[in-house]
Amino acid sequence: MPRLNSPAELEKHRQQIKSSGDPEMPCVAICAGTGCLASGADRVIEAFRDEIEKQGLKAGVRIRETGCPGFCERGPVVVIYPEEICYLDVKPEDVPEIVTTTLKEKGVVERLLYEDADTGERAVHESDIVFYRNQQRNLLENNIKIDSRSIEDYFAIGGYSALAKVLSEMKAEEVLEEVKKSGLRGRGGAGFSTGIKWEGSRNAEDDTRYVIVNADEGDPGAFMDRALLEGNPHSILEGLIIGGYAVGAEEGYVYVRQEYPLAVTNINRAIKQAREHGLLGENILGSGFDFDVIVHQGAGAFVCGESTALMTALEGRAGEPRPKYIRSNIRGLWNKPTVLNNVETWANVPLIINRGSGWFGRIGTEKSKGTKIFSLVGKINNTGLVEVPMGMTLRDIIYKIGGGIPGGRKFKAVQTGGPSGGCIPEKLLDLEVGFDELSQAGSMMGSGGMIVMDEDTCMVDVARYFIEFLTDESCGKCVPCREGLRQMHRILTNITKGKGKEGDIETLEELAETAVEASLCALGKSAPNPFLSTLKYFRDEYEAHISEKRCPALYCRDLISYYIDPEKCSGCMLCLKKCPVDAIEGKKKQVHVIVQEKCTNCGTCLDVCPSKFDAVRKLSGESRGAGQNE
Amino acid sequence: MSKILLNIDGKEVTAQEGMTVLEAAQSAGIFIPTLCHHEKLEPFGACRICMVEAESHGRTKLVVSCVYPAEEGLVVRTRSEKIDRIRRTILELLMAHAPDSEQLKELAAEYGADADRFEKEGSFCIHCGLCVRYCAEIKKKNAVGFVDRGTRKEISFVPEIALKECENCKECFPLCPTSYLQAAWVLVKALASDGS
């Protein structure tokens, strides 16, 4: 393990690594990120090991366990190099065929390729797949190219060259200037200018400064930061060391949630490797700059993603935000100037140094630069992580990359920005994604959550769900958040249960105003967004629930009933047999009837009714009464 | 220490550097309601009832006066339609827990708060933290603390410490705006005698 004492030694080491490997040597890259592992990637990896050995290819094929390339919907993902053949949904039993056909005979296993839903065409290479084709993966592209456990792999793709450049050629002020000029804004939520934040810390009068990676990713359904930290931990580390140099910090922290065990393991391993190579510790690359990193595992409180709560937790106290009116880049951790940035923000830093602020500034919109990783989930065909230039429209993300809505259902809304983001309706689908654009639409960028909802989603219930999450995650310190959210949740729950009353909307609006204006931290201040945005764009749904006791999306269980259309029912007995509460009466070849008093609205009858009959219907509101009387 | 000139409710107020807006107002005899504030304790900023409008450099924002530092030239308004509405809502939210608190009832009368607006949840404690912070900061005993988080958070005596320290102290009792602290104390003593 060589300690690298200068940028020249690093370059030499890099060249040695590159020349020791044959670029034409076949390599099986298998995603070993959390998503693919959950779909059985570990067994696929095992199967490749066994099969390659069995077929006598062990000496000539490399197996690479990689980070997440993003297409989690179709995992386990396998890419065979040098041809870059991409196989999806790979199972252990597919492995012998892949080894024989692709590795030995250089052919393609057609059935494991991506098939375009519209044209039926198969895509051989990763870059041909529509999901990837419309992305710009500056940050995620390396995940599949390196073994996330190998610092050599990171060196081979040019790793730590930005750090070497900074330490040997740039003054701290020049690094600051470059980051400022790039227009990079924080990827964690508020979208504050990274360069200005750094500059504030550098200029604050103090001897000690800190830099922190916020990896306390807690938004439901969001896993951008996990993918980066698991898949390419050295890129985060390199960004952090550069940040430490720029602001004058000698100590950095990675605050990562305990629920990300693989990310914790990988970043710890990366830190150990970096220390061994002299990239952390004293006199980094012979520059005289000292810097080291400590990993701190969060205990699972969502609010600890809030910067001051995170710092309080790092200090060893209960993770509650601070009431102070002073920015933490001036007085943060242990009252010292502290720069806290999100994982994705740090990952952008080496790219900006290597490729220049001009390159970065050309990507994106006027005020939102670079790419952004979104976690595209919900009612969408291609679930996964997508990295796109800022300024791409929501429509393009959802339809061109995400492949639209499954099951022929209609799009209804997309929720961006995590639980305290907002729901954006169809009429705003041509909105270009950017910090300010999303805020103006009543939502926010947040850390990049994007949940697609179809016509079967009840927007009142969506608001209730997110407010419930936030009520549960409130730290409980200030009244507008702790008590205000509790009451908002109670009222929203009542509305979805048909117990809404006149005046509820106004009460909710007043509670929302109190939380937005008077809460202590960003959690409380943004918590009413799910309610406010759904009220703004879907007010008619609130009114239907309250005044007509009707759920237009036919979702709220207390407001719907099931009804068997006598014209369509053939008396097949299927629903009658499957009904868990024996609420269906009828005989073979006789029309079945649901006894509403017994029915619990579980929906089993609708699920089991054969599509050729399609006799069970959901009703809500007035029509529900009509259905019941028949 | 240098002097700062600010304007509160149209009145020129001279404050010392390092003072909060609340302290500046109090020094000039201007009343701002508080629930979690105590002059001997570190600012907590939890009840948010002391919220005021602060205008500086042409920008107006809502801030909590118990934390916000007095600044030269700051223009402060302690009442407005919006401030009153927020204070009223805060009081109504707290009265769902402690409808009989004299301190809350007094403020409710001032701000027109309806004690019955929200469904009652008789937990009595309003989480002002006065007992917890007084015991930690002044007495340095930590005989009472917060347990759990969010809406499940509550105060709790630490029996091992409380049974030794509290009987002869009880200095935090008069600070409690409800009767919850006393009730918790009675309970901790009862449980101790029952268990021994």
A582-612: pLDDT as tens digits: 999 999 999 999 999 999 999 999 999 999 9
Return the higher-pLDDT residue of A443 and A119.
A443
| Residue written as token pair 């629903």 | A575
Instruction: Output the pLDDT for position B192.
Output: 84
Instruction: Compute the distance between CA of residue A587 and CA of residue A571 in angstroms, rounded to an integer.
Output: 7
What are B4's strand-pairing partners? B15
For chain A, residues classed under CATH 3.40.30.10 are 23-129
Architecture of domain A23-129: 3-Layer(aba) Sandwich (3.40)
pLDDT per residue of chain B (196 residues) written in tens, 0 to 9: 689 999 999 999 999 999 999 999 999 999 999 999 999 999 999 999 999 999 998 899 999 999 999 999 999 999 999 999 999 999 999 999 999 999 999 999 999 999 999 998 877 899 999 999 999 999 999 999 999 888 889 999 999 999 999 999 999 999 999 988 888 999 898 888 865 4
Q: Which residue among A482, A490, A517 places its CB closest to the CB of B150? A: A482
Tell me which chain A residues have a C-beta less than 8 angstroms from the C-beta of B68. Answer: 325
- The reply to whether B10 and B73 lie within a common domain is yes
Q: Which of A177, A205, A172 lies closest to A193 in space, CA to CA?
A: A177
Phi-psi region of A70 (alpha: psi -120 to 50; beta: other; left: phi over 0): left
A window 458-477, beta carbon within 8 A of B: 471-477
Beta strands in A179-326 (DSSP E): 210-215, 251-257, 292-298
Q: Looking at domain A559-629, does it have CATH number 3.30.70.20? A: yes
Sign of the CA dihedral with A434 first, then A436, A437, and A443 last: positive
Q: Which residue among A318, A475, A487 places its CB closest to the CB of B118? A: A487
- The reply to whether B7 and B26 lie within a common domain is yes
In the structure encoding, which two tokens stand for residue A366, read together?
A: 């006027």
Count of domains observed in chain B: 3
For chain A, residues classed under CATH 3.30.70.20 are 559-629
Q: Looking at domain A459-547, does it have CATH number 1.20.1440.230? A: yes
Last residue of a domain, one of B78, B93, B109: B78
With beta carbons less than 8 A apart as the criterion, state whether B195 and B187 touch: no
Phi first, then psi, for residue A210 (nearest 5°) are: -130, 150
With beta carbons less than 8 A apart as the criterion, state whether B141 and B135 touch: yes
- The reply to whether B140 and B185 lie within a common domain is yes
Q: Which of A532, A554, A533, A551 lies closest to A543 in space, CA to CA?
A: A551
- The reply to whether B115 and B145 lie within a common domain is no
- The reply to whether B98 and B147 lie within a common domain is no
Phi first, then psi, for residue A339 (nearest 5°) are: -100, 120
Q: Do B51 and A476 touch (CB under 8 A)?
A: no
- Say how many C-beta atoms besides its own lie within 10 A of residue A568's C-beta: 14
With beta carbons less than 8 A apart as the criterion, state whether A592 and A581 touch: no
How many residues are there in chain A? 630
With beta carbons less than 8 A apart as the criterion, state whether B88 and B113 touch: yes
- The reply to whether B86 and B118 lie within a common domain is yes
What are A373's strand-pairing partners? A387
Q: Are strands A338-342 and A411-416 parallel, antiparallel or unpaired?
A: unpaired
Range of the domain at B17: 3-78
- The reply to whether B71 and B19 lie within a common domain is yes
Q: Do A323 and B153 touch (CB under 8 A)?
A: no
Which of the following CATH numbers is that of domain A159-361: 1.10.599.10, 3.40.50.300, 3.40.50.970, 3.40.50.11540? Answer: 3.40.50.11540
At the topology level of CATH, where does A371-454 sit?
A: Ubiquitin-like (UB roll) (3.10.20)
A window 400-419, beta carbon within 8 A of B: none
Tell me which chain A residues have a C-beta less than 8 angstroms from the C-beta of B82. Answer: 517
**CB within 8 Å of A597: residues ≥ 6 apart:** none
Q: A205-246 pLDDT, tens per residue?
A: 999 999 999 999 988 888 999 999 999 999 999 999 999 999
Tell me which chain A residues have a C-beta less than 8 angstroms from the C-beta of B52. Answer: none
Q: Which residue among B69, B85, B153 places its CB closest to the CB of A325? A: B69
Q: Do B47 and A520 touch (CB under 8 A)?
A: no
In this prediction the ipTM stands at 0.95
DSSP structure string for A360-399: HHTSB-SSSBSEEEEEEEES-SS-EEEEEETT-BHHIIII
- Dmax of chain A from CA atoms? 88
Judged against a pLDDT cut of 70, whether residue A94 lies above it is answered with yes
Using DSSP's 3-state secondary structure scheme, residue B103 falls into helix
- The reply to whether B52 and B16 lie within a common domain is yes
- The reply to whether B145 and B189 lie within a common domain is yes
- The reply to whether B8 and B64 lie within a common domain is yes
- The reply to whether B67 and B10 lie within a common domain is yes
**CB within 8 Å of A7: residues ≥ 6 apart:** A164, A165, A167, A168, A285
Q: Which of B42, B93, B146 to mutate to test binding with chain A, by most A CBs within 10 Å of its CB? A: B93
Q: How many CA atoms lie within 13 A of B75 on its CB side?
A: 7
Last residue of a domain, one of B51, B78, B105: B78
